[in-house]
Structure 1
Amino acid sequence: MADVSWQKEAKNQWNARAGGWQAKSADMWENGSRKGVCPFFANYVPKNSLVADLGCGDGYGSQKLNQAGYEVVGIDLSNKMVEFAQKFETERLTFKQGDLANLPFQNDELDAVMAINSLEWTENPYHVLKEIKRVLKPSGKFCAAILGPTAGPRENSYSRLSGQPVIMNTMMPWEFVKLARENGFQPIAEEYVYKGGMTEAAVQSFSAELKQSLTFFTLFMMEKE
């Protein structure tokens, strides 16, 4: 974005969307597309781990991780989102306003990181992955959800095709895997979330690439090498 700071515009847009997001967030995490995220996470990350939820939004997902037995720090660029999230704060659940490209953690500090559909909203995902690697302990876990081809939110990047500035870096799931490998992460698991009407049973014989092509998002678990 030549004339506008990506971070400033992203913050402004998510501040404007904060109320609408907060109104539907609980349903997404309890009944909708995100209901399987915390169980997937718990399969690979031991309880009592120190976890950063990057792009935590209104904090509902961070709260669910905390209730599942994790110490969680939620980070979001939007101060309005953080204000919503702070109502969930406990001794082991805190929230900070911050930029994913400049994380407020020491080297090798975290046991795990979660980033659900937030990497796409960063200006330089490659750099953000380097930051995530920096703050994770050796063999630390990185759980990410990447929007698939059927995801409506991908329309936020459409106007780039007519030369307009956007603040969303859409990527295919396979591109994320390649980017993660280049930054020192090893994929260890995937899970696929589809739109209504599509089931895992219907695609069980498909390759991972074909499954990804039908997803609302692909959920990945990575390990720092």
Structure 2
Amino acid sequence: MKNTYDWEKEAEKKWDERAAFWNKGSKEMWDSGSRSSIVPFFSKYVNPEAEVIDIGCGDGYGSYLLTREGMNVTGVDLSPEMIKLAKKHEKPDKLEFIQANMLDLPFADAKADALLTINCIEWTEDPLAALNELKRVVKNDGYLCIAILGPTAHPRTNSFDRLYGKPVICNTMMPWEFEKMALENGWELADSQGVYKRGVTEDMIGKLSPELKQSLSFLWLFMLQKKEGGNV
């Protein structure tokens, strides 16, 4: 039987439906919640005035925060409803938003100094193709800051129905799997850090290996760098 399931359309539909709900909690997540460490982490490596593409930008609040650091940002999201919400943050010559799929980005090769993509590649049908597309649009020596949902993240319930043989739009890639894939495909690891669910303390994780720390994470942040000679 021919597979008629359209992963892209189903993902677009889901995030269109969740756009208003996401928007209600987005500011708090970025300002004081699970995403509050991302902009400081990103800014350690990416200079002000950098050309940044924020892929999977959602309602655009994270992209807006990057412009406050002096960066020039283009936000991209698969969901038209998310892009409608994001456009309220637009600033001429500083911040714009476009609807697009991260598997087929509408940018020239080596367009960006740096990329940010938070909990986005988990929602693609082909993570390696997505990673290679990210590599195509970032400059040599440029950075990719990417967050992968950890095992404890509630959104991972979206992959559960695969156990019943049903199509799902959230792949099952774990942080340690993504790290291995990135290192095998032309990226160098500059830094990484975890974000944990409430109740996980430094005393609990301090002596654990990186893999065990990742296994307790809500999300895991990687800072990768593309080097001359890396695969495109």
Cα offset, 1:166, TM superposition: 0.4
TM-score (norm 2): 0.95
What SS is found at the alignment partner of 1:26? helix
Q: Which residue identity does 1:170 align to in structure 2?
A: T
Q: Which stretches in structure 2 are left out of the alignment for 5+ residues?
A: 228-232
Q: Which residue identity does 1:60 align to in structure 2?
A: Y
Partners in 1 of 2:33 and 2:40 — Cα distance? 14
Identity between Structure 1 and Structure 2 (%) = 49
Native 8 Å contact 1:133 1:183 kept in 2: no
Cα offset, 1:151, TM superposition: 0.6
Residue aligning to 1:124: 126
TM-score (norm 1): 0.98
Q: Runs of at least 4 residues of structure 1 off by over 2 A?
A: 199-202
Partners in 2 of 1:72 and 1:183 — Cα distance? 26
Residue aligning to 1:90: 91
Residue aligning to 2:113: 111
What SS is found at the alignment partner of 2:75? strand
Q: Do residues 19 (structure 1) and 20 (structure 2) align?
A: yes
What SS is found at the alignment partner of 1:165? coil
Residue aligning to 1:146: 148
Residue aligning to 1:7: 8
Native 8 Å contact 1:63 1:88 kept in 2: yes
Size of the aligned set, in residue pairs, is 225
Q: Which residue identity does 2:177 align to in structure 1?
A: E
Residues 97-153 of structure 1 deviation map (CA, whole Å, 9 limit, x = unaligned): 001000111111110001100010011110011111111100110001101111111
Native 8 Å contact 1:110 1:140 kept in 2: yes
Residues 69-95 of structure 1 deviation map (CA, whole Å, 9 limit, x = unaligned): 110000000000000000000020000
Q: Which stretches in structure 1 are left out of the alignment for 5+ residues?
A: none
What SS is found at the alignment partner of 2:139? strand
Q: Which residue identity does 2:29 align to in structure 1?
A: M
Q: Do residues 204 (structure 1) and 206 (structure 2) align?
A: yes
Over the aligned positions, Cα root-mean-square deviation in angstroms equals 1.1
